[in-house]
Structure 1
Amino acid sequence: MIPDPVHPLRVVLLGAGRVASQLAPALHQAGHQLAGVWSRNPATAAALAATVPGTLVLPTPDFAALPPADMYLLAVPDAAIPAVLAQARFQAGALVAHTSGTVPLSIFEDMPDIVGGVFYPLQTFSAGRAVDWRTVPLCVEGATPAAQATLLALAHTLSGSVQAVGTPQRQAIHIAAVFACNFTNHLLGISHALLAQQQLPLALLAPLLHETVEKALAHPPFTMQTGPAARQDVPTLARHQAALAPYPAWLQVYNALTSSIQAQLPAPPANNQGAVVL
């Protein structure tokens, strides 16, 4: 059941990086008030605040002057969350949520004066590229039913894909996202470099990429595996390995993925005498 839309909220953003820079205008466009922005880099905070009218730049590193807000969102690197929580001075009973995919909700357990939460956008964010927040899955978790209801309602003002997700599920989602996004992007970087050496564009692979993703979304991906590793084409694998010999790091990735693919292949059926059918 979708919660009733919340009244416009006063939100303070702690962080001004890739997530915060996309989240700030989205909150503003959804009708919420950005009450302040903080960053370890004051210039970055000022640049982000300038994109949303009426937004205060909070002093650095003095957290004693945090303005009143309905919610404080921590859009900082995961490793920085404990330090920010230890340094900030929130109002008693304040709702404070981080945007991490992997930091557990339990990080707030030793802070009884605030109410903890998670507001995790499942998307990749890069400078200069705007995302359509209506399609971004938002995974939320609150330390209390009231906190979770507020986070869910806020999320529904931004996105059409919202759900309550507990810490173990969210952490699994984050690992899956690293494989699907970060590792895939790295592999595309290798593809781009190999093609560029032959004066060929990465766009040449576009139809192949589209078909691969569409198949993976329509069927269990392991059942759709193709290529020389899946068919155990030893001569082709050997030629690829020889071509990659000048690039030891890429060859290591190639060999690791080949082994992983082959480890997922179904066992060959056995005949009635127990012999393996080849």
Structure 2
Amino acid sequence: MLAYTIVLLGAGRVGQHLGPALAAAGHHVMHVWSRTLAAAQRVAASIPGATADTELAALPPADLYLVAVPDGAVPELLAAAHLPAGALVVHTAGALDLAVFAARPEVRGGVLYPLQTFSPGRHINWKTVPLCLEVAHATDAVLLGNIAASLSQDVRWVDSGQRLQLHVAAVWACNFPNHLLGISHALLTEAGLPWELLRPLIEETMAKALTQPPFSVQTGPAIRHDQATLARHEAAQGGHPEWQALYKHLTGSIQQVATGAAANNEAGLQL
């Protein structure tokens, strides 16, 4: 395997996981930058031989400059960073297209988007994480592809438009369900019931969704149009009007999707 020198720009959740993973894969992650020195030093301490700094004007030469900061911070970082002419600069954002590099035409832009959720203290099995790649120049595909393949067994070339849709889908699959699980946790806590009661239900729900089209296995009072139960549920959430409103909206969405599916099935039978 070819080993590359890498400068990591960002010491947040993605950088905390990605920097050590790249080092473990055999690459020389030589330098870590962050706005705060403590954050840069914390990530650098987990990478053998890495230095840490808060300066963007003194970046060492490298094969790859990996930008792992929030989407909104990427343009500002690119504008401020002292990058060698011809440098390969790759961001990790899901919803940011290659046009962000237009302001720095002297560098070669690219994307390495890891399709995973990252939290401190959680172990990530990088071999299973889909890595979605894109490059502005075809000649950079080999280098970026080699780095990605050293991390994951699931490497895909995905253009900016596809990646945006993927990122939206990921929010629906990860961030929104997590919020809904948080509401479930809070309601059980208020009732004096343990969160563990929902574990078998959550596990079966996820198992079904991963093996069948999720809309096709929808259950619950909404799809049954059980108005009495729906009314009792809404009343039980009286102390949380924002959750009541969300419950009503999701109920309507479930019913609308089911109605559309039924209409399509009926049309198919008539044909």
Q: For residues 8-27 of structure 1, what are the structure 2 equivalents within 5 Å?
A: 8-27=3-22
Q: For residues 119-130 of structure 1, what are the structure 2 equivalents within 5 Å?
A: 119-130=112-123
Contact preservation (8 Å) 2:79, 2:103: no
* 2:44 is the counterpart of 1:54: no
Aligned mates of 2:92, 2:15 — CA distance in 1:
9
Aligned mates of 1:63, 1:229 — CA distance in 2:
54
Could you say which residue in structure 2 is the equivalent of 1:167?
160
Residue type of the partner of 1:239? Answer: R
| Pairing partner for 1:149 from 142, 145, 149 | 142
Aligned mates of 2:206, 2:123 — CA distance in 1:
22
Residue type of the partner of 1:177? Answer: A
Structure 1: runs of 5+ lacking an equivalent: 270-278
Aligned mates of 1:109, 1:161 — CA distance in 2:
29
Aligned mates of 2:132, 2:194 — CA distance in 1:
36
Aligned mates of 1:201, 1:25 — CA distance in 2:
36
Aligned mates of 2:51, 2:134 — CA distance in 1:
28
Could you say which residue in structure 1 is the equivalent of 2:30?
35
Aligned mates of 1:214, 1:266 — CA distance in 2:
25
Pick the structure with more helix per residue: 2
Residue type of the partner of 2:244? Answer: L
* Offset, 1:109: 2.2
| Pairing partner for 2:70 from 70, 77, 91 | 77
Aligned mates of 2:176, 2:247 — CA distance in 1:
13
Q: Secondary structure at the match of 1:116?
A: strand
Q: Secondary structure at the match of 1:11?
A: strand
Could you say which residue in structure 1 is the equivalent of 2:104?
111
- Residues paired across the two proteins, number: 262
Could you say which residue in structure 2 is the equivalent of 1:272?
none
Contact preservation (8 Å) 1:117, 1:148: no
Aligned mates of 1:144, 1:57 — CA distance in 2:
30
Residue type of the partner of 2:22? Answer: L
Aligned mates of 2:171, 2:237 — CA distance in 1:
25
The CA deviation string for residues 127-182 of structure 1, in whole angstroms up to 9 with x for no partner, is: 11121111111001011112222212111100111100001111111101101100
Aligned mates of 1:89, 1:172 — CA distance in 2:
32
Residue type of the partner of 1:168? Answer: G
- Percent identity among equivalent residues? 53
* Offset, 1:266: 3.0
Aligned mates of 1:208, 1:137 — CA distance in 2:
27
